[in-house]
Structure 1
Amino acid sequence: MIRSLAFIAALALAAPAAAQDQSLADVRSELADLSAQLQSLRSELVASGAQGMQAAGGSSALERMDTMEASLMRLTSRTEELQNRIDRVVKDGTNRIGDLEFRLCEATPGCDIGSVGQTPTLGGESSGASVASAPAAAAPSASSNAPALAMNEQADFDRAKGVLAQGDFQGAADLFSAFAQSYPGGPLTGEAMYLRGEALEKTGDTGSAARAYLDAFSAAPEGTFAPDSLFKLGTSLANLGQTVEACATLREVGARFPNAAATSSAQGAMQSLACQ
């Protein structure tokens, strides 16, 4: 009995640390299991009578159980609060991206509003826990800790970059688009989507460039290229005459990525646009 009680106490104290490597659903499930075990121990202790109570440490055993139960309730309540907050952020972010897609289509000649489909949930099925900074002028290459490259992935990426360096911007945009479709979720895909936006921007197709930057940000809203993609989206919206939306987007750069180099560029762009 005493060993079981100590085991549950250790698990309850370790729960916050373990949560760092688990989803909130996993944490809530474990907290529910711990609560059920604690209730079972309480019933076992009460049923053991005075002798069992004395062996467990007397009336203080029940007091310790009450303390642990209260801690479990606080942890459970906290995980529910976090889940609700995350759900609100994801919903709000998804709605904002959907609105930007609609407005981009309105501002792009020849775009069919009916072709704007349902916006995928922000971040997809999962999103990273950390935010990485990236310079605004030249986005860095993929991290050495990134997943292994698929066969021909590096060669296809280098070929698209080579075409971009040669000044064939439309050709490069097409190659980067094909690359993103061929290697979805790959370690170089975020950079490819970002560079596609730059290539389209140099062709003068600002509307398509803005959509490319939006796609790059939506695919990885906390990835390495997210700050620059968001900044470029804001400046593209400004060039399309969507000043209000541009200011809102540029403001998000600093709010989401305060330490990124793109934040300084976004602040300068906001000053130029006289954003309120």
Structure 2
Amino acid sequence: MRRLGVLAVCLALASPALAQGNAQSLASIRAELGALATALEGLRAELIGGGGAGLVAAGGVGALARMDAIEAALVRLTAQSEALENRINRVVADGTNRLGDLEFRLCELEPGCDISKVGATPLLGGGAVAANGGGASGAGVTGSAPALAMSEQADFDRAKAALDAGEYARAAELFAVFNTTYTGGPLTADAQFYRGQALQAAGDVAGAARAWLEGFAGAPDGPRAPESLLMLGRALADLQQVPEACAMLTEVGLRFPGAAAATEAGAMMRTLNCQ
């Protein structure tokens, strides 16, 4: 039967799709696997309902054996997709918890920082936030980039102008207000990065480290992520938190091997004698 061949081809295409997270989500892959399983059951019922003549036309008992093999492969692929989803959820939860713990440490180093007011850590990869030190249930689904809100670009430019003019304290405040006003907007990562620069220039290294940490946690795969992680590592080194600095700098190379920030991170690791 031609349908049996088509089903086998679809199954063959489904397997490599498990490794193509950018093209398809795990949810869509599992939905496809479920559809294939349903199609297989329908084909089996049609084959058996056709009687002996239908079975012979499909290739004899070998056709049923091939269907059994396809069904077994579907079961394996479904199990693999579930295991992969669980693994991703654990990685996201662990990474989010680590960032939350680091934010608490930075708050302890920052003069006047109230630990009780440290907010929830943004879930790595987007989605809902997770309480600092607590687990995350899974990665959120990111959509298309949001459009700029009214006055968003003007407010951003005002803060950036203050930074360029050397008004570091004012720039840090303006960027903080910007991030509160336009949380999750398309300029948020840039605003957090520049806020870190402003705080560092104003002498608040711990505050700068927190800004870069928050910027990276909010968009761990965004265009500012390599620089934010690099600057976070540098700030931690300035704060004499060398083991944590080395860990962050190592992450730059692992996550962004082709970025210029990775080269800088490698040089800094050699200076710090990171193991």
Identify the TM-score tier after normalising by the shorter chain.
Answer: 0.7 to 0.9
State the 4+ residue runs in structure 1 displaced beyond 6 angstroms: none
**One-letter code aligned to 2:7:** I
Query: Does the 8 Å CA contact 2:146/2:185 hold for their aligned counterparts?
Result: yes
CA distance in 2, matches of 1:268, 1:102: 28
Query: Does the 8 Å CA contact 2:156/2:178 hold for their aligned counterparts?
Result: yes
Match of 1:195 in 2: 194
The answer to whether the aligner puts 1:206 opposite 2:167 as a matched pair is no
Match of 2:79 in 1: 77
Where in structure 2 are the equivalents of 1:1-276 lying within 5 Å? 2=1, 4-16=3-15, 20=20, 21-125=23-127, 126=140, 147-276=146-275
Secondary structure class of the residue paired with 1:275: coil
**One-letter code aligned to 2:111:** P
CA 110–185 in structure 1, closer or farther in 2 if over 3 Å, else same: closer
**One-letter code aligned to 1:33:** A
CA distance in 2, matches of 1:88, 1:101: 20
Output one character per residue of 1:65-122: Cα deviation in whole Å (capped at 9) or x when no partner: 1332233233223312321221222122112101101111121122223223443322
CA distance in 2, matches of 1:169, 1:253: 27
CA 76–258 in structure 1, closer or farther in 2 if over 3 Å, else same: same
CA distance in 1, matches of 2:46, 2:118: 60
Q: Identity percentage over the alignment? A: 55
TM-score by length of 2: 0.85
Secondary structure class of the residue paired with 2:253: helix
Query: Does the 8 Å CA contact 1:194/1:225 hold for their aligned counterparts?
Result: yes
The Cα shift of 1:12 comes to: 2.2
Query: Does the 8 Å CA contact 2:236/2:244 hold for their aligned counterparts?
Result: yes
CA RMSD of aligned residues (A): 2.4
Match of 1:140 in 2: none
Output one character per residue of 1:109-146: Cα deviation in whole Å (capped at 9) or x when no partner: 22223223443322222377xxxxxxxxxxxxxxxx96
**One-letter code aligned to 2:124:** L
CA distance in 1, matches of 2:255, 2:181: 29
Unaligned runs of 5+ in 2: 128-139
TM-score by length of 1: 0.85
Query: Does the 8 Å CA contact 1:28/1:79 hold for their aligned counterparts?
Result: yes
Query: Does the 8 Å CA contact 2:122/2:218 hold for their aligned counterparts?
Result: no
Unaligned runs of 5+ in 1: 129-144
Output one character per residue of 1:36-80: Cα deviation in whole Å (capped at 9) or x when no partner: 331232233224321221232322321331332233233223312
CA distance in 2, matches of 1:212, 1:157: 16
CA distance in 1, matches of 2:32, 2:38: 10
**One-letter code aligned to 1:256:** R
CA distance in 2, matches of 1:249, 1:127: 25
CA distance in 1, matches of 2:122, 2:224: 19
Query: Does the 8 Å CA contact 1:127/1:222 hold for their aligned counterparts?
Result: no
CA distance in 1, matches of 2:51, 2:13: 31
The Cα shift of 1:255 comes to: 1.3
CA distance in 1, matches of 2:208, 2:217: 14
**One-letter code aligned to 2:222:** G
Query: Does the 8 Å CA contact 1:127/1:220 hold for their aligned counterparts?
Result: no
The Cα shift of 1:7 comes to: 4.4
**One-letter code aligned to 1:100:** L
